[in-house]
Structure 1
């Protein structure tokens, strides 16, 4: 069964690793998922982007956030907590995509209302497949809330 993606979806990728970010972007492109993907490398910048502050004042709010937990400075756990505590941001689905397989991180992420938690595979091909599955599910199967 092939799912048909919705109209263009705004995605915010919060990832400090350039190689993981480029692989994620490439995976979405190869899956032919219609989207507009924006990438930021740290938690502080992510919150500026989401709150449309400073240089991000004219950015469109994302329909989906893909979040790494292990970020420099404000880490992904803090970003997730701030997003889900903000009445203007809390309905944006957050997919945690991280190297951590820690039960503590998984439990904490769900307690902070992450919408799903995915551990990054170390194999490049598997990583790309996981990202494509995320895209197909969140962008073609799920009805996202209006922004």
Structure 2
């Protein structure tokens, strides 16, 4: 997907994909999408459904982890110059409350903690209006 825009920096690559309504397949699988992109901020949104339930009847923790990983990853990507890539080095998720089918639409906003020459740290929070559920600290290199 990004190879079509290899001549652009990370932010402009994501902006081009959004303009073309092209999204990574994981978003279709997990039912969330990149909905806002600015320099210094990315937001993913989705609605957990029964398709993502675990055995105890709540949304599997992997839904939130994947949503957060996407927000953090795209945030770091949006900060990179042309031709530079990244991969996840560490993923730490803190669950404050379970997501359920009645949670409604959720949003994950990614922000940069720091960006060095080799490693970037970002964080994100999954929330719905007025209520935080899960947050993440993330390290990419």
TM-score normalised over the length of structure 1: 0.25
Structure number, greater radius of gyration:
2
Higher percent of residues as helix: 1
Higher percent of residues as strand: 2
